[in-house]
Amino acid sequence: EVQLVESGGGLVQPGGSLRLSCAASGFTFNTFPMNWVRQAPGKGLDYISFISRYGDDIYYADSVKGRFTISRDNAKNSLYLQMNSLRAEDTAVYYCARGDREFDFWGQGTLVTVSS
């Protein structure tokens, strides 16, 4: 069974940092690109980052470029999102999602709240 489990969310002050993790199981992790998608409270889905199977192709939305870093450790079947210089508008549930084109499996999400 494919499983994606996010962790690392929490309350952080503006300007602070957090590192999100996504633990994958039930499939061969290094054969799939991975993504981060976020959803602000009561809002729609916001696509923020992509990483190819071996990390040689990476994309960031303009809203997070220069502040967030996506990475993966295929040996640990894990995806990461390092988030620096956090802002109130980064408050959201962060989902990891598997896939290149369509996202066929999603984690349950981890909530990041940026507030003083």
**What is the binding site for other proteins (CB under 8 A)?**
35, 37, 44-47, 50, 59, 61, 95, 100-109
Beta-bridged to residue 97, according to DSSP, are: 35, 106
Provide, rounded to whole angstroms, the least separation between the CB of residue 86 and other proteins. Answer: 22
What is the length of the chain?
A: 116
Provide, rounded to whole angstroms, the least separation between the CB of residue 15 and other proteins. Answer: 27
Give ∠ CA 81-82-87 in degrees, rounded to 5: 105
Provide, rounded to whole angstroms, the least separation between the CB of residue 72 and other proteins. Answer: 18
C-beta closer to other proteins: residue 47 or 54: 47
Provide, rounded to whole angstroms, the least separation between the CB of residue 73 and other proteins. Answer: 22
C-beta closer to other proteins: residue 39 or 74: 39
Residues 39-72 as b or e (16 or more Cβ within 10 Å = b) = eeeeeeeeebbbbebeeeeeebeeebeeebbbeb
Q: In 3D, which of 112, 100, 107 has the Cα closest to residue 31?
A: 100
C-beta closer to other proteins: residue 32 or 50: 50
C-beta closer to other proteins: residue 75 or 102: 102
